[in-house]
Amino acid sequence: MKVLLVGGGGREHALGWKIAQSPLLTKLFVAPGNPGIKPLGERLALGAEDVDAIVSAARARAVDLVVVGPEAPLALGLADRLRAHGVPCFGPSQAAARLESSKAFMKETATRAGAPTAAFGRFKDVAAAQAFLAGMSAPYVVKADGLAAGKGVVIAETFAEADSAVRDLLGGRFGEAGAEIVIEEFMAGEEASYFVLTDGETILPLAAAQDHKRAFDGDKGPNTGGMGAYSPAPVFSTEVEEETLARIIRPVLAEMRRGGTPFQGVLFAGLMIGESGPRLVEFNARFGDPECQVLMRRLEGDLLPALHAAATGRLHEVTLQWSRNAAAVIVLAADGYPGAYRKGGEIKGVARADALPGVVVFQAGTEEKDGRLFASGGRVLSVSAVGATLPEAVRRAYAGVDAIEWRDGFCRRDIGWRAMKTFI
């Protein structure tokens, strides 16, 4: 099977690493990939959001499957364009990707499906939003409707802060993405990310993970794309999983079918697990990054036939095996991330880290020049490890981090702290 993987981050390196282990794979192309993916496949110098060029490349190379990593090309309709040309694509249509690209659509679909989620209102008008806010109590949750690279969510402690977020978002800070906003009830609890594959009908549960969104130790500092993750998530018990499937995943996917926009690909549910069980925070139409890295480290079965079956409506034929091992991943980010960050520092020791027990380094914001590796992005490397227990996986991952020489970055030193409480 010839596969084209779209994207170039740590998530795509992990997907490529797993796909490359499949005996069914004959050739892997990656657009654009990163230096870490180079030994696994052929890089194409195409942007992940260059839909026309990706469609042309998939056809010219007669690929059997396109696997889309990030959300932006899905929201641009890449999967629809590929399917229109008869190219199987793992990833939802533009209409189904609205579960991620429009928070108002997501909330309305979840509500119609009866899924437990925060009460909400949607607004285009400042006065109406302020009136709704006045009826809520702190903390306030204000979100831009559209994709805002994880920056469109404000959790405000005071009314004044919430009011200024409303004006800021509706005032055009995120352009079209903020033309409409959603105001939600605040949900208390512990967050977990849960992933299922679906072909629109059949659902194949994957696993849960927890990530660390804040930049610094102790869950302090600004929100990021994710600074580390681990799987399994102790908070996500079998009972919580069953309830999530029964009350959230199945009804929402059924609602998507009823609405004529069946969802196909991987559905990532962000959940808040509180006293009343799991409630839906958000959906994403793709794997999480860095959650994907830990899922790929724990998956024992062959991912490729599962992705192909999801893309072609045959997911009922597939099962996947999972390791009982735990996996952890630590993100190394450039100083300054998630704000303006430094680029260009040299990175050494990746091979040394890779050689440690249980460790695999996935690259994200890196570039290669004359055989040397340099930082070129915000999140630069993800150091993953597996172990018999979570503390072992975390210890091994930090041994990997310590084997890497790179002066211009930082990582959190407390990845897994919530779950480790179980072990102390």
Query: In the complex, which residues of this chain contact ligand GLY (CB under 6 A)?
Result: 211, 225-226, 284, 288-289, 291
Q: Is 191 a binder of ligand AMP (CB under 6 A)?
A: yes
The helix (run of H) or strand (run of E) holding residue 89 is: strand 89-90
Q: Is 280 a binder of ligand AMP (CB under 6 A)?
A: no
Q: Of ligand GLY, ligand AMP, none, which one does residue 187 interact with (CB within 5 to 8 Å by kind)?
A: ligand AMP
Q: Of ligand GLY, ligand AMP, none, which one does residue 211 interact with (CB within 5 to 8 Å by kind)?
A: ligand GLY
Q: Is 255 a binder of ligand AMP (CB under 6 A)?
A: no
Q: Of ligand AMP, ligand GLY, none, which one does residue 191 interact with (CB within 5 to 8 Å by kind)?
A: ligand AMP
**Residues in a beta bridge with 229:** 211, 329
Cis previous bond, 222, omega within 30: no
Q: Which amino acid is at 96?
A: A
CB 304 within 8 A of CB 1: yes
What single-letter DSSP state applies at residue 300?
-
Q: Is 277 a binder of ligand AMP (CB under 6 A)?
A: no
Q: Of ligand GLY, ligand AMP, none, which one does residue 288 interact with (CB within 5 to 8 Å by kind)?
A: ligand GLY
The helix (run of H) or strand (run of E) holding residue 141 is: strand 140-144
CB 11 within 8 A of CB 293: yes
Selected binder of ligand AMP within 3, 76, 153, 390 (CB under 6 A): 153
Query: Exposed, middle or buried: residue 127 (CB in 10 Å: 0-12, 13-18, 19+)?
Result: exposed
Q: Of ligand AMP, ligand GLY, none, which one does residue 282 interact with (CB within 5 to 8 Å by kind)?
A: ligand AMP
Residues 6+ apart with CB under 8 A from 304: 1, 3, 19, 22, 24, 25, 65
Find the part of the chain contacting ligand AMP (CB under 6 A) among 181-189, 293-301, 315-323, 358-366. 181-189
Selected binder of ligand AMP within 50, 282, 291, 408 (CB under 6 A): 282
Q: Which residue is nearest to ligand GLY (CB)?
A: 226
Q: Is 184 a binder of ligand AMP (CB under 6 A)?
A: yes
Q: Give min distance, CB of 334 to ligand GLY, in A.
A: 17
Selected binder of ligand AMP within 270, 336, 345, 391 (CB under 6 A): 270
Contacts with ligand AMP in 203-242 (CB under 6 A)?
213
Selected binder of ligand AMP within 66, 104, 281, 295 (CB under 6 A): 281
Binding mask 7-46 for ligand AMP (x = CB under 6 A): ----------------------------------------
Tokens of 282: 């958000």
Q: Of ligand AMP, ligand GLY, none, which one does residue 303 interact with (CB within 5 to 8 Å by kind)?
A: none
CB 397 within 8 A of CB 415: yes
What's 309-358 look like in SS3?
HHHCCCHHHCCCCECCCEEEEEEEEECCCCCCCCCCCEEECHHHHHCCCC
CB 327 within 8 A of CB 384: yes
CB 79 within 8 A of CB 67: no
Residue of 259, 240, 394 lying closest to 328 (CA atoms):
394
Q: Of ligand AMP, ligand GLY, none, which one does residue 102 interact with (CB within 5 to 8 Å by kind)?
A: none
Q: Is 289 a binder of ligand AMP (CB under 6 A)?
A: no
Where do contacts with ligand AMP occur on this chain (CB under 6 A)?
A: 118, 141, 143, 153, 155, 184, 186-187, 191, 213, 270, 281-282
